[in-house]
Each structure stands twice: as structure tokens, then as C-alpha cells.
Amino acid sequence: AQRVTQPEKLLSVFKGAPVELKCNYSYSGSPELFWYVQYSRQRLQLLLRHISRESIKGFTADLNKGETSFHLKKPFAQEEDSAMYYCALIWSGNTGKLIFGQGTTLQVKP
């Protein structure tokens, strides 16, 4: 069964420290993965997706099919990165349905 696991509920780092939010998935086909972010008092929005291979707000994520992971990384955290982060997987076929992980709250301390 398709599943997305984010093992950390809360990740707390100091400003300027590196950040890695973990995401592991189980999926029998070729996965399409996303990171969505929810800043305080804002709606959930797309941060990045693996097929774009881009860096958004300094974040990158590489799909590792061998380890079935899609970890989100940033070399130097900023206070404005504090938010809830969700890893998500396209569920099946062409319906566009997403399976979300449990979410990780990133807290960047000054």
C-alpha cells in the first residue's frame, strides 16, 4: 500500500544551522513526490516537487529510489522557514489524489 512517513513531528534548529526534514515513502510504481508547506495563518501551498529539480527558498529535495526517500534540505535555516511541512505522494494513476505524511513542524530559533 502507498504510504508516506515523516518520522519527526517537531524539528527545532537554530538560525543558520542546516536543516533536513525526512520523508520516506512506499509505492509500487514510479513515484511523484511533493513538499507542501503551511506557514502560520497561511494556507497550505506547494514548496517543490521532485520532477522540477529546482530550489525554492533555498530548499532542495532529491528523490532516492534506492532508499525510498525524499528528504527536504536547506543548508542555512532562517527564522521565516518556521512552518509545518508535509511530504506528499501522488496516489494513483491520473486522478491527482495525494497521500500526505504526518507533517513535521520546523521551528527555527533566533
Residues in contact with another protein by CB under 8 A are 4, 6, 9, 32, 34, 36, 43-46, 49, 51, 86, 90-91, 94-103
CB of 76 to another protein, least distance (A): 27
**Residue 96 main-chain phi, psi, to 5 deg:** 80, 5
Write down the least CB distance from residue 23 to another protein, Å.
11
Nearest of 107, 106, 65 to residue 89 by alpha carbon: 65
- In the complex with another protein, which residue's Cβ is closer, 13 or 44? 44
Minimum Å gap between C-beta 97 and another protein is: 6
Q: Which residue's CB is nearer to another protein, number 39 or number 76? A: 39
Residue 40 or 110: the one with the smaller Cβ distance to another protein is: 40
Question: E strands of the chain, at which residues?
Answer: 3-5, 10-14, 19-21, 24-26, 33-38, 45-49, 60-61, 72-74, 83-90, 98-100, 104-109
